[in-house]
Amino acid sequence: MSNSAILPYPIEPIAEMPIDDNLAEALLTSMSEYSEQLQGRRVWLACSGGRDSLALAALCVQLYWQGKLPFLPQLLHVNHGLQADSGIWAAHVANWAKAQKIPCTILQAQVNGHDEQAARQARYDVMRAQLNQDDVLLLAHHADDQAETVLMRLIQGAGANGLSGMQPWRVQTQDAHRIILWRPWLTIQRADINAYAQRLKLPYIDDPTNDGGDNVRSGLRRDIMPVLAKYNPNVIDNIARSAILLSDAQLTVKAQAAEDLQQTEVISLQLPPAQRVLNIDKLQQLPLYRQRQLLHHWLGQDEPLPPAKQLVDDVLSLSQRHDHDHQTELFWQGRQQSYTIRRYRQQLYRLSNDWLKWLESPLAEQTQSLLIHTESNLIGADVHATGRQPVPINLRNDDKFTWQLQILPNEVMRLLESNKDKVEITFAPLDRSTRIQTALATRPQSGKKLYQTLSIPSWMRESLVVVSIVLVNKKSVEDGILDNEHPIVCPILLLSPFYSWVLASDQLLASNPHYIESAISSCLTVPSSF
């Protein structure tokens, strides 16, 4: 196949050709280091057909047929149609793979944009879609790529995490789909790979756009790295070594931040990834530098890219305020979701905007009848259950979140005198003007006052529900109970998605108040795909 970008060498089997010991040692050493993680996993190799990826594919073929590599990776080539000859290049890679007896899959990608970043994202997206859960994608990034990456991030003002560069083994998760990126050549220089490719006369694709200088990476490669090499010929190895040292330092910082997070997060209010909460008092007990690192770690949970330093500084300032203005909102557009960071009293909240939108949806008043005097009775519209089986009540749900109650009818009946056999349970949103009394309070309070008393943040105030028992069966006057025209309404429980408060209801309760919480339990769930 003739094309000016393809080196004019014939496609020939390379299994018997000499192996480069330096390149082979790097690959086999990395394989040994991650042997446990590689066990039983399918391995793919991202092959553009360029010098680096074709050389890595060639080395895998040689080591496999010599019995030194226990697997033969499957090649993945992405044709995103950005070059006029993209189709020719894809066919060339397929023909080379066929000659080496290595499996090869050609993928088509649609690029949303015209820059290199858009093309890179399209390649990864289509390859990720091809891989199954926990598959391994083998990449030919090398020490020169690492040096360019570190310099790019240094120019952008990155911290230790960014300056640690690319990792040799990285678990990447997107929408619950987990793959592994494996880079065994990060200590190998481009010149060594080039020499190996020349010795084997590999017909690789020399894409003319790689060194065109139309992006930061190619500009660094063409203009900056040669100048740095004049000052120190070992600049590539030195930068790669610095990246390793910074990676170790970052792991230490991350471990400290994770330990600090365990001491400062409010466990009862966590709903990952929708809501994460920190205790400000405990946060401020830490030295200032650890507060910054903790906030950086806390904000970046569930996201592939860390937050900007400015956002961390703004959140730190929010935590340090001494006024009572709790209306300040900070916004962050992450890769996975968008978030709002808010403070309420001595707590910091990182709230996904999907979660906030869900909290604003209205709660409808509901009524459920519980008929317990037979073994199987109709509960609600279409549920048959005995008094020993839980009755589910959906208070609010959609495709992202579900807030459900589990009611045990027999336990509810223990709240009543023994001769009661029919009740209704109502679930009504707490109105600002509704007056109820919690079990520990000395008098009833309006909903507006309870927001303050119970420390309910403003965004949670539409998600408070009053649970009441209503007696609906007729009894004689001697029993002291009125008929259906004047039912007794007994509020027993106030619920939020995270907490419940027993109400002072002594009209009908024949048992201790703790029976209420055993009879009615709240459950908030987030689908795994969220």
Give binding residues for ATP as ranges: 48-53
* Tally of helices (H runs) and strands (E runs) in the chain: 18, 22
How far apart are alpha carbons 275 and 259 in whole angstroms? 19
Per-residue b or e along 67-88, where b marks 16 or more CB atoms closer than 10 Å to that residue's CB: eebeebbbbbbbbbeeeeeeeb
Closest CA to 75 of 34, 114, 32, 43: 43
* E strands present in 160-293: 169-174, 177-182, 275-279
Q: How far is CA 74 from the centre of its chain?
A: 28
C-beta contacts of 357-362 below 8 A and 24+ residues apart: 358/396, 358/398, 358/400, 358/401, 359/459, 359/460, 359/462, 359/463, 360/459, 360/462, 361/396, 361/398, 362/429, 362/462
Is-contact 203 7, C-beta < 8 A? yes
Q: What's the CA gap between 25 and 31, in Å, rounded?
A: 10
The Cα 217–Cα 163 span in angstroms is 15
Please state the residue numbers annotated as binding site. Answer: 48-53
Residue 459 main-chain phi, psi, to 5 deg? -75, -10
And the tokens for 261?
């997070």
